[in-house]
Amino acid sequence: MMSSFGGLMKQPFFWLALTLTLVAISILVNLGFWQLSRAEQKQRIQTQLDFNAGQDWQSLNAVIDRDTIDVNLTGLKVVADLTPIEGRYLLLDNQVFDGKVGYLALQLMKTTQGNNVLLERGFINAPRSRLQLPTVEWLTHRYQGQGRLYTRSNNPLSDGLMLEPSEPARIQNLNVEQLGDIWQMPIEGFVFQPQQQEWVYPQPWRPVPMNEQKHIGYAVQWFAMAMALTVLGLIWL
């Protein structure tokens, strides 16, 4: 048996197969650990979200005045006084709500202190043709009321704004920094979602798109695949 194994080791395909197997196992294990790290991150986000939701209502101006660059504001309840900025409208592409594909409509507002804030108008069903954009009933009057804040996580594969020169402007990702450069004005790094009865459009709320348990489940799957591949490799040897 040792002689047959020694003969196998002399074959070029043996080393190629062994290398590919080890690389595949390494990738699967790394994917498993990556999912575990994502689960830990989601747990921290959920903890912060629960903390924010339990806070009293705060003035939006006061929140902006604080140094909140490194703080996750998602779920924070605020009271705002906002005035629409005409012509600054966005349609965030490729959104899904209740099984329907559409856009998330956003418009730029100004606080009483002069800060620029994106307000979420809501989910809009997409027309059948990509060449046609939906008609949106934008806010044209001052908004005074309650709402909650959220931030959008960047897509690791593509986080570019990809703004199209349309009216309203269609974008693929909500990159606030790039948007500020294009519109040539500073914009706060969060979105204000109004909390008002009889709001004209539905308002999706998924602050944590994939929870901790799902990431752990995916990690278990990756580790199981790595183990199965290891066993198959040992049997083959």
Q: Which residues contact 159 (CB under 8 A, 6 or more apart)?
A: 173, 175
| C-alpha span between 57 and 78 (Å, rounded) | 5
Tokens of residue 191, six digits: 């979105």
Q: Would you tell me how many other CB atoms lie within 10 Å of the CB of residue 141?
A: 7
Task: Tell me the pLDDT tens digit for each residue of 131-144.
Answer: 899 999 999 999 99
- Strand partners of residue 116: 110
Beta carbons of 134 and 124 less than 8 angstroms apart: yes
Task: Tell me the pLDDT tens digit for each residue of 4-46.
Answer: 555 555 566 666 777 788 889 899 999 998 888 888 877 877 7
Q: Which residues contact 134 (CB under 8 A, 6 or more apart)?
A: 91, 102, 103, 124, 125, 126, 127
Q: Low-confidence residues of the chain, pLDDT below 50?
A: 1-3
